[in-house]
A and B are shown apart, each in its own frame.
Chain A
Amino acid sequence: MTQPIRRPKRKNPVLPMRLPVLPPGTRSRVGLGLTAAAAEGRFALQVCGACAAVQYPPREACHQCLGDELTWREQDGAGELISQTQLHTSHDTFFRQRMPWRLGMVKLDAGPTLVVHLHGDVGSAPARVKVGARLDKAGMAVLVGFPDRDVPHMADDTQLREFTCDPKYRKALVTDGKTAVGQAQVRALVDAGADLVWVGHAEPWKKLPGLAELRELPQVSLVPLDVTDGRSVKELAGEIGAKVDILVNNVEVHRAHGIASRYGTDIARAEMEVNYLGLLRLAQEFGPVMRGRGADGQSSAVAWVNLLSIFALTNFPTHGTYSASKAAALSLAQCLRAEMRPAGLRVINVFPGPIEDEWNQLLPPPKLAPAALARAVIGALRDGVEDVYPGDVAQEWLARFRESPKVLERELAGG
């Protein structure tokens, strides 16, 4: 039985902090296919186009017929634990700090036999298990053997928590609490058990609905934050940076214009100033101090969430300058991900379709409700996912984008 985690005791200030180290992070190029799927929360294995054999580990040619048409297909992960072991010692710096560590061998119903990290609630072999893929601190896919049905406090398993970013008992910063999206995110974090949520708000003279109500939540602390002002970001990072475990950057400027519908560069500049340069300023000020706390006990710094847009993948011409700013932010977020990796921090990029808000007034439903977006972020933190495409529109765009970026571009251009 997994014991529920408890609110961690205050840190003993005379003990040195554990430094972040990573588990082994080398994979073959083809092996990264496992990681690509796990980054979206999927467990996929290669399947042979000729003989339908499921492959593991990832490889160039089918282990059965040597066919080279291997396609990544999602797996349900059902299988049987055939053996298990508990490691008590290791030469690896990451696992040495986390002993003992439970491993098992699982024979999937689909065929292959895998080595998996074993959840504490999986009984002794033989036992039915469900294998899922997760990203480890190095950002690489690993396989986890879960109990075949949910058990209480399943997410609190010590080993599993090395792969997830659960907000429970953690402290989070939401960079903009003045929007419906921000307010839903704050409430979702509180509901998910966050100990403290700092809520940024800019331009205090603009009174917008909802912010004052947040103040009534005991976990919430409103803090001035204007991401267009370097000093504002620096000051907040100085004040709370050493305590932020999860940063949710949801601040954005969004106007529905292409090139021709709005003469001049002021709106495009405002979008870039917040959506792109705002992320850069936050990353420069909060990045270093969060990197230092990547292994700081149960409530270490774990995740950085960026609210992007599905328009970051392909320009949506009626929201053309916004799309461009989100594409820039996506590119920078990839850089941030690379720079956060040595500390084991997860950068989660969220790509919603149109959100139900005032800047998407003219777009037809379905539009993503702020609360649904917030739930998707919490889900991504709990599952340790890197890329999230919440809602039907985002999923559909993603599928079309993956099928053919050029076809999607042409379709969006209309006419």
Chain B
Amino acid sequence: MAKEMKKMKSGTLATLVAELAQGRIRIVDLTQTLSPQFPQIVLAPELGQAAPFRVEEVSRYDERGPAWYWNNFTCSEHTGTHFDAPIHWISGRHLPNNSVDTLPLADLIGPACVIDCSAQARADADFLLTADHIRAWETAHGRIPPRAWVLMRTDWSKRHDPAEYQNFDEEGQHTPGPATDAVRFLVEERDVIGFGSESIGTDAGQGFHLKPPYPCHYYMHGNGRHGLQCLTNLDLLPPQGAVIICPPLKIRQGSGSPLRVLALIES
């Protein structure tokens, strides 16, 4: 027993726990708060719609339940900060282990590379991240390791007004995202686990007009990779070196789920 304790204390996990306790490793919350005010994805009104987050009180220390407070909530698998599994897209529908209940657990903890596009997104809401941008980022920050999450920082999460966050005009939504060649580069040449964004989808707001439509969904999910969207606090992460933890809810055959995304960073 004592020997096992000693082993614990000196192991990697024990070091992790100790460093967390000492504040040498810090936890950053990459999650938006689930609230009815947070907007949901918008599709044409004749199509099926993702349910927004809604919460109804069951009881609050009252006649409905004297000693306890609790709520029922409803939402879509794709509401708030959420995970997209390969089964979400038609290109990933026949892959093995393609839903949130079956996907590999190893994909849920991994290194994160953060590509800062905040200046470009500020200048152009329709900014597309290209393969060339990624190569330039690698020149500055090092090569993207295999099996990493690539997160596109745009500071879009700082748009607290839902209308500005959604950014619709008569031609639809205007939010930044990856170009087709960037997605293919990340999947085919860098073997990423997935792609994460701050806006409401992993694809750009005008992604329907790219080739193929919604390339990030199409190629990532078609190759068994994942998506994270509505992330926040990406500006607190280093370009390389953070580790993210992003387990979705275990929904049978689920295409995604709201989740808490945490990042570990070394001080």
Q: Which of B22-55 contact A (CB under 8 A)?
A: 36, 39, 42, 46, 48-49, 51-52, 54-55
How far apart are the CA atoms of A229 and B39 in the complex, in Å? 13
Q: Which residue of A lies closest to B39 (CB)?
A: A205
Distance in angstroms from B233 CB to nearest chain A CB is 22
Q: Which of B85-93, B132-140, B163-171 contacts A (4 or more CB under 8 A)?
A: B163-171
A255-294 Cβ-contact flags toward B at 8 Å (1 or 0): 1000000001011001000000000000000000000000
Q: Which residue of A lies closest to B56 (CB)?
A: A230
- The reply to whether A205 and B163 form a contact with Cβ atoms under 8 Å apart is yes
How far apart are the CA atoms of A203 and B42 in the complex, in Å? 10
Q: Which residue of A lies closest to B166 (CB)?
A: A205
Contact of B162 with A by CB under 8 A: yes
How far apart are the CA atoms of A229 and B75 in the complex, in Å? 12
Contact of B57 with A by CB under 8 A: yes
B-side interface residues, number (CB < 8 Å): 19
Distance in angstroms from A274 CB to nearest chain B CB is 12
- The reply to whether B48 and A205 form a contact with Cβ atoms under 8 Å apart is no
Distance in angstroms from A399 CB to nearest chain B CB is 33
CB contact between A206 and one of B36, B51, B52, B168 (< 8 Å): that residue? B168
How far apart are the CA atoms of A204 and B167 in the complex, in Å? 10
How far apart are the CA atoms of A207 and B163 in the complex, in Å? 9
- The reply to whether B36 and A232 form a contact with Cβ atoms under 8 Å apart is yes
- The reply to whether A266 and B48 form a contact with Cβ atoms under 8 Å apart is yes
CB contact between A204 and one of B51, B56, B162 (< 8 Å): that residue? B162
Across-interface contacts of B167 in A (CB, < 8 A): 205
Interface size class of A (residues with CB under 8 A): 10 to 19
Across-interface contacts of A270 in B (CB, < 8 A): 49
Distance in angstroms from A284 CB to nearest chain B CB is 12
Q: Which of A196-245 contact B (CB under 8 A)?
A: 203-207, 226, 228-232
CB contact between B168 and one of A207, A228, A232 (< 8 Å): that residue? A207
Across-interface contacts of A264 in B (CB, < 8 A): 48
B148-175 Cβ-contact flags toward A at 8 Å (1 or 0): 0000000000000011011111000000
Which of A231, A255, A267 is the most central at the interface, judged by chain B CB atoms within 10 Å of its CB?
Answer: A231
Across-interface contacts of A226 in B (CB, < 8 A): 36
- The reply to whether B54 and A228 form a contact with Cβ atoms under 8 Å apart is yes
Across-interface contacts of A232 in B (CB, < 8 A): 36
How far apart are the CA atoms of A267 and B39 in the complex, in Å? 19
- The reply to whether B39 and A266 form a contact with Cβ atoms under 8 Å apart is no
- The reply to whether B42 and A205 form a contact with Cβ atoms under 8 Å apart is yes
Q: Which residue of B lies closest to A270 (CB)?
A: B49
Q: Which residue of B lies closest to A229 (CB)?
A: B36
Q: Which residue of A lies closest to B40 (CB)?
A: A203
Distance in angstroms from B223 CB to nearest chain A CB is 29
Across-interface contacts of A231 in B (CB, < 8 A): 36, 55
How far apart are the CA atoms of A207 and B56 in the complex, in Å? 27
Q: Which of A310-351 contact B (CB under 8 A)?
A: none
Across-interface contacts of A230 in B (CB, < 8 A): 54-57
Please give me the 6 A-B residue pairs with the lowest Cβ-Cβ distance, nearest first. Answer: A205-B166, A229-B36, A205-B163, A204-B163, A266-B48, A205-B162
- Would you list 5 pairs from A and B whose C-beta atoms are within 8 A, ordered by A residue? A205-B42, A205-B167, A205-B168, A207-B169, A230-B55
| Chain A contact residues, CB within 8 Å of chain B | 203-207, 226, 228-232, 255, 264, 266-267, 270
7 more CB-based (< 8 A) A-B contacts, given A205-B162, A206-B168, A266-B48: A204-B163, A205-B163, A205-B166, A205-B167, A207-B169, A228-B52, A266-B51
